[in-house]
Structure 1
Amino acid sequence: MRNAQREAEAVRAAAHVTEHLRGLGREPASQPIGLVLGTGWGDVLKFDQAIEIPFGEIPGFNGLEGLEGHARRLVIGSLGGRDIVALRGRVHLNEAPCDPNVAKMVRLQTEMLLQLGVRTLIVTSAVGSLRGCLPVGGIAVVDGFVTVYAPEMPMWAGEFVSPEDTLDPALRAIALEECGDLVAKTVGHVMVRGPFFEGRRYDKARLAGPTLPLAALVRCAGVVGMSMLPEACIAALYDAKVLGLGFVTNDDVAEHSHEENQRQAKAAAPHLCGLLARIVARL
């Protein structure tokens, strides 16, 4: 059950976007497809008749600081003839774990899409692989979450959801069919407070290690990341369907960095955007 008082902020944000569109002579679509474009996923994706609104101009995102590699713009347009509302870049919980305003914005960015009519949401991100069968450059099609290492979700009193209920099997089947020559696996996703695992091979080795007690918790998980779970939690409040896709920028052995993750994602951007376009065309 959604908290109606807290929901009002998302209603205001959606109303602002609607007014902005109408001021430009555009009516909002009744049920657009939602996209959350993580690292690499939106770098070269082109929308038809696109209108972009910086997060900072939308009520509720006041004081939001910039983050390298994340444009943080709301995009309204179409892709392959389908109406789209997209986040080009997102706010992450780990940016300021003790700041309630950041948690509020993490929730607001997704809830705003849902208030704009989105009922099918494709959530993308960069991820690290925990399994040798999913190499750098591969696609993780997420079918569940390990939540015990995650930060507190931006949920309010009285709200209880099972985020896995939003992960739609039919959407996963479409994604796997459209991956083509890309290496793709259906795997679980471990969300961590992050970015603790960046450049620290032992953190991820601990998650992946077969001899440790906690391995039982993650034995079905294939990737680790810092997002995707919050979007799924909020989507569950609206009975929306979610497809979670991760692009593997690093594995559980080699040292890596934010800069290397960015480089890997940008190099693969044309393939990732092509995959998204093919999936959207099937919806």
Structure 2
Amino acid sequence: MNKERVKAAGVAAEFIGNCQHQHIEETAIGVVLGSGWGDTLEFEEKIEIPFSTIPGFKNLPTVVEGHKRTLIVGKIAGKQVLALNGRLHLYEKPFSKSWLKMVRLQVEMLFHLGVKKIIITSAVGTLKCQPERFSRLADEFWKAGGTFPFPDPELQVGDIAIIDGFVTVFAPIMPLWGDEFCSADETISQNLIDIALKSQGDLVIAKKTGHAMLRGPQFEGNKYDKEILSKTGAGVVGMSMLPEAYIASLYGIEILGLGFVTNGYKEKHSHEENLERAKSASAHLGEYLKSIIAQM
């Protein structure tokens, strides 16, 4: 582990712990609130700390709509939660080493504050279910004791993707240094996936699927890109989540990835429309997250 990064994360964590004499519990749960998820949670005993005041994030610009970039410390379902309300994306400054350090730092400081479990959320788009993926999912369904009818594996706008793995071949360079070798297969906790599957109610449809990450900020093309991406077996595509998952896995943090589906695979892309759709579902998303947090 890079000593400079460990020291920087420790300084940031110490600053947060000293804010208003805030006591951080060892059982605190981390949450990354991505596009559309920012206003979904209702906290008790809440304080909010702007990223720009935390050491390591000085002179931080706010450039992406829907991302406040604050750290929220509060209680949900009786448990202390440390939530990043808005993330730093790789695509904002992909060639800046200092930016890569801050992308890391937002997760590293949570570890130094004691976080051992984290929920990483984002907005995602759907991919068409290819025959090979359909056959694999059907086989898993029947082997698990499922009964007729077999549920439609394709996610629709308004559904939640529970991420069970990542497609990395189209992803940008990750904020990893030197000998920090890690595998995307080791980033997701099956225990937390099971909790997420059990937590869906009548108002939320959640399905397990793979996530393909693209560099961004350009959207994938509907005509050709999505056809290629769907052949990987992934069910959704997005521009984030994987970097935070890699960094969290380096520190042994248990990870759950959740993507809110904001656009179908044939729709025209719109960041503003994505945020609006997530906003209209915020109450359902908040209750779903609260149910998961209560069981973690």
Q: How many residues align?
A: 270
What are the residue-to-residue correspondences of 1:132-151 with 2, within 5 Å? 133-151=154-172
Out of 280, 284, 287, the position equivalent to 1:267 is 280
* Larger CA deviation: 44-53 vs 162-171: 162-171
**Correspondence for 2:32:** 36
Out of 183, 191, 207, the position equivalent to 1:185 is 207
Runs of 4+ in 1 over 6 A off after TM superposition: none
**Correspondence for 1:160:** 181
Out of 72, 89, 96, the position equivalent to 1:99 is 96
Distance 1:204 1:264, change over 3 A: farther
**Correspondence for 1:74:** 71
Mapped to 1, the partners of 2:82 and 2:249 lie a distance apart of: 18
Once the 2 structures are TM-superposed, how far is the Cα of residue 44 of structure 1 from its aligned partner?
A: 3.5
Q: Does 1:116 align with 2:129?
A: no
User: Which structure 1 segments of 5+ residues have no match?
Assistant: 210-214
**Correspondence for 1:53:** 49
Once the 2 structures are TM-superposed, how far is the Cα of residue 104 of structure 1 from its aligned partner?
A: 1.1
**Correspondence for 2:291:** 278
Distance 1:204 1:128, change over 3 A: farther
Letter in 2 for 1:110: V
**Correspondence for 1:13:** 12
Once the 2 structures are TM-superposed, how far is the Cα of residue 164 of structure 1 from its aligned partner?
A: 2.8
Letter in 2 for 1:77: G
Percent of residue pairs bearing the same amino acid type: 50
Assess if the C-alpha contact under 8 Å between 2:159 and 2:260 holds in 1.
Answer: yes
Q: TM-score, normalised by structure 2?
A: 0.88
SS at match of 2:120: strand
Out of 217, 236, 246, the position equivalent to 1:195 is 217
**Correspondence for 1:224:** 237
**Deviation by residue 1:156-198 (Cα, 9 ceiling, x = unmatched):** 1121112331311111011111112322211111110013226
Distance 1:208 1:162, change over 3 A: closer
Letter in 2 for 1:196: Q
Q: Does 1:169 align with 2:190?
A: yes
Assess if the C-alpha contact under 8 Å between 1:122 and 1:245 holds in 2.
Answer: yes
User: Which structure 2 segments of 5+ residues have no match?
Assistant: 130-153
Q: Does 1:131 align with 2:152?
A: no
Letter in 1 for 2:36: G
Computed over aligned residues only, the root mean square deviation of the Cα atoms, in angstroms, reads 1.4
Assess if the C-alpha contact under 8 Å between 1:130 and 1:204 holds in 2.
Answer: no
Out of 238, 243, 259, the position equivalent to 1:246 is 259
Assess if the C-alpha contact under 8 Å between 2:70 and 2:86 holds in 1.
Answer: yes
Letter in 1 for 2:186: D
Once the 2 structures are TM-superposed, how far is the Cα of residue 8 of structure 1 from its aligned partner?
A: 1.1
Q: TM-score, normalised by structure 1?
A: 0.91
Once the 2 structures are TM-superposed, how far is the Cα of residue 98 of structure 1 from its aligned partner?
A: 1.2
